[in-house]
Amino acid sequence: MTEKIIDLRSDTVTKPSAAMRRAMAEADVGDDVFMEDPTVNRLQRRAAEIFGRQAGLFVPSGSMGNLVCIMAQTQPGQEVICDAAGHIYSYEMAAMSALAGVLPRVVNTANGIMPWEQISRAIRPRAYYRAQTALVSLENTHNMAGGTVYPTRLAHSICDHAHDAGLKVHLDGARIFNAAVHLGQDVVEITRKFDSVQFCLSKGLGAPVGSMIVGSSALIDRCRSIRKMLGGGMRQAGVIAAAGLLALENGPARLHVDHENARVLADGLAGIAGIRVDPATVQTNIVIYDIRETKLKSSQFLEKICRRNVLGVALDAERVRMVTHLDVDRSDVENAIGAIDEVLRLGA
């Protein structure tokens, strides 16, 4: 057992590195509502460049990024097609209904991946007396399905079909760089057909705060106004953008380590009696496993492993999620597996 707390609850728990803290302290700043913060401007230009888009916008959170993109591309009374386990539907405070005034039209999937046939059945008929579908939103990687990745050809064909049907397509790409690493493809290639893309700096990339939106200049101009309306206009935001820049430049290159560690974790868990997980389904940095056969509820299980300094989250009474990230290394993962094994074998 280690003294270190092995925090596998989420890749959001990563703390800024010494280099990030230095860059934050030394950041050139200005008033970003006047669009005069040089560091924010640099971050936005770099994000746009990396994604091959005209413009980027720094937002305080992924939730705000998704909401801003929805509001920019819908009108109240319209519908957004998304999957039932998706973050925008299940984990964003019903913001699209409460604030954008749109109705989520959900599709159930086994693995977070929506085939076009399913999406097309959810499109409302063109009739003046029916709410109209405006937007389709995909999530890549898919958080609650266990970090699953959209095959690029499928994502492209969904965008093509949706555009033919007159719909916009948003990508909740909170962990898009994890998808890129898994696919061995550039983010430009895997996101180029989406009208709007949101990705998080504050997860596996390691920044303390913030997300980015990228898209056309016209879209980003609209998004900037909506961000202000929602109270997301920040002033000397260069102090956090400085960390975001380092995350964006240096974060993607080490995500493969998180993926290897997630596979080691899944392999280790698969060998423990009472735990069910198929390591072959682990594509990125998220491992979801079933503990039903231990006869423990997730909350009881988590309490026991917490006493051994290992943290995870409960998805429901029988399923636990663990996420690898830059603040846990291979030996932490091995220690976590050892602690879980001991808890289940010794019952303590």
Ligand X SMILES: *Cc1c(COP(=O)(O)O)cnc(C)c1O
Bridge partners (DSSP) listed for residue 321 = 288, 313
Closest to ligand X by CB, 205 vs 340, is 205
Cβ 187 to ligand X, closest distance in Å? 16
Token output for 263: 């596979």
Q: For the chain, what is the total number of helices (H) and then of strands (E)?
A: 14, 12
Closest to ligand X by CB, 139 vs 343, is 139
Asked if 200 is part of the footprint of ligand X (rule: CB under 6 A), the reply reads yes
Cβ 143 to ligand X, closest distance in Å? 4
Asked if 87 is part of the footprint of ligand X (rule: CB under 6 A), the reply reads yes
CA angle centred on 215, ends 212 and 219, rounded to 5°: 105
The bridge status of strand 79-83 relative to strand 103-107 is parallel
Cβ 134 to ligand X, closest distance in Å? 20
Mind giving me the DSSP string for 179-223? HHHHHT--HHHHHTT-SEEEEESSSTT--SS-EEEEE-HHHHHHH
Cβ 156 to ligand X, closest distance in Å? 20
Binding mask 204-233 toward ligand X (x if CB under 6 A, else -) reads: -------x----------------------
Instruction: Choose which of 32, 37, 79, 172 interacts with ligand X (CB under 6 A).
Output: 172
Cβ 119 to ligand X, closest distance in Å? 18
Cβ 144 to ligand X, closest distance in Å? 8
Residues 6+ apart with CB under 8 A from 153: none
Asked if 143 is part of the footprint of ligand X (rule: CB under 6 A), the reply reads yes
Report the C-alpha gap between 222 and 228 in whole angstroms: 10
Site for ligand X in 123-142 (CB under 6 A): 139
Asked if 174 is part of the footprint of ligand X (rule: CB under 6 A), the reply reads yes
Give yes or no for a contact between 216 and 13, defined as CB atoms under 8 angstroms apart.
Answer: no
> By rule CB under 6 A, what count of residues binds ligand X?
12
Region label for 221, one of left (φ > 0), alpha (ψ between -120 and 50) or beta (otherwise):
alpha
Closest to ligand X by CB, 65 vs 268, is 65
Token output for 255: 């995500």
Site for ligand X in 47-76 (CB under 6 A): 61-63, 66
State the residues that interact with ligand X by CB under 6 A: 61-63, 66, 87, 139, 143, 172, 174, 200, 202, 211
